Amino acid sequence: MLELYDALLVLLGAVLFGVAVLPRFVADRAISLPMFFVGFGILAFGLPTGLPAPDPLEQGLLTERIAEFGVIVALMAVGLKLDRVPGLRAWASTWRLLAITMPLSIAGAALLGWYVGLVVPAAVLLGACIAPTDPVLASEVQVEEPGEGDEAQPQTDREGKGDEVRFALSSEAGLNDGFAFPFTNVAIAMALVGIAPGNWVGEWLLIDVGYRIVVGVVLGAVLGRIAAWIIFLTVPKTEIARSVQGLEALAGTLLIYGATEVVGGYGFIAVFVAAVAIRSYERSHEYNDALHELGELAEQAAMAVIMVFFGGAIAGGLLAPLTVEALVAAVAIVLVVRPAAGVVGLLGFDRDWAERGAIAFFGIRGIGSFYYLAHGLNEGAFADADLLWALVGAVVVISIVLHGVTATPVINRLTSSSG
């Protein structure tokens, strides 16, 4: 009889082997790695292998923690790749997506959730869950490795269409993974004390919007600067020192996230801000490559494991509660809500409509959505939790397939048209 522990070792080994080997076969093709891992998870847990299918409702805390780890390593990896110096004008597309597109997307998804029968707190939680953009699930729309590509150029540069799309989506993902938290906390507050604003709005504005965001930004900038000073202070010369090159990326991620959470700040924001601070400290240093490589490895490994478990949850019936109306809502969130909100947010942005359309379209949903849903359900009492998971799961499946198939040809087309 196959022991569960042994079966899990086989599964983990197969997943990590796939992380190492699959990129050789899917590069520049209209397909993404998450599609493989979700499919593998459906097979591994759906066939009579003895593996119990993951259940995010019964294993809510474990689901939250696994997704949380996946998000923070992805945020560090993305932040370490951004070459463009932060600024109001240089990051104009980012601010537009955060200030306009994200709230509109949340409102649109919440209305659709209410339409399919969710009560107000659950509908708001749905909106918050689909807020994070998650480019790790379609690496073709991430910025390139440190020092490569043209995304460091200011957005007024008329060249580099593909690079502007990559930068906008990567920087948006880095920040809106944290800025979705206040909206999640609104849903939790509604579930706990009622939907009347007088019950929660004061504390929400002061603590969730004010204190926690400020602490996340400040600690991220300060700790990131300190970490950068330590990292670039010396060059590894011994064999042992060279063997652990880049480990600071993962260590810094955990340290900065944990420290920020201890004092009540948003750790997601702190991790991304710290990564950008580290990248900005010494842009030309060759050690940036070591930091990026280990961060990228941790990101891809975490993504693969989470997607396999997601496939296993699907095999276990995660999508069974979907109604026809809920499926229509999931399709509308991906094909209507995010693209429309993206177009509105980018009105007047000084790039052509091909670029603006691509940025609006590739609002990829994934690991961040899993985290916020698990966190919300663990913190508050929400009705129709099974329908919420089915809806968010359907949104992520649609996003993985649709964006995974279209990302490579769209980015290639934009890049070729700007060359």
One-letter amino acid at 126 equals L
Q: 317 falls in which pLDDT band (50, 70, 90)?
A: very high
Over residues 11-23, mean pLDDT: 87
One-letter amino acid at 270 equals A
Over residues 61-70, mean pLDDT: 94
> 312 pLDDT exceeds 90?
yes
Sign of CA dihedral 342, 410, 75, 279: negative
Token pair for 234 = 């010396």
Looking at the chain, how many residues does it have?
419
> How many CB atoms are closer than 10 A to CB 197?
12
> How many CB atoms are closer than 10 A to CB 370?
29
Torsion-angle region of residue 82: left (phi > 0), alpha (psi -120 to 50) or beta?
Answer: beta
Q: 316 falls in which pLDDT band (50, 70, 90)?
A: very high
Least confident of 96-110, 245-259, 302-316, 325-339: 245-259
Over residues 367-374, mean pLDDT: 94
Over residues 300-326, mean pLDDT: 94
> 157 pLDDT exceeds 50?
no
- Report the top-level CATH class of 4-418: mainly alpha
**pLDDT for res 419:** 52
Model confidence over 221-274: pLDDT tens digits? 999 999 888 887 776 777 776 666 778 788 888 999 999 999 999 999 999 999
CB–CB of 140/402 below 8 Å? no
Least confident of 274-283, 328-337, 388-397: 274-283
DSSP reduced 3-state for 139: helix
pTM of the predicted model, to two decimals? Answer: 0.91
Q: 1 falls in which pLDDT band (50, 70, 90)?
A: very low
The rounded percent of the chain whose pLDDT value lies above 90 is 52
Place of tokens 């696994």: 66
> 153 pLDDT exceeds 60?
no
Round to whole Å and give the CA distance between 131 and 177: 8
Model confidence over 74-110: pLDDT tens digits? 898 888 888 888 888 889 999 999 999 999 999 999 9
Model confidence over 181-218: pLDDT tens digits? 999 999 999 999 989 988 899 999 999 999 999 999 99
Over residues 332-346, mean pLDDT: 95
Over residues 123-143, mean pLDDT: 81
CA distances, 30 to each of 139, 154, 386 (Å): 12, 29, 32
Quote the radius of gyration of the chain (alpha carbons, Å): 21
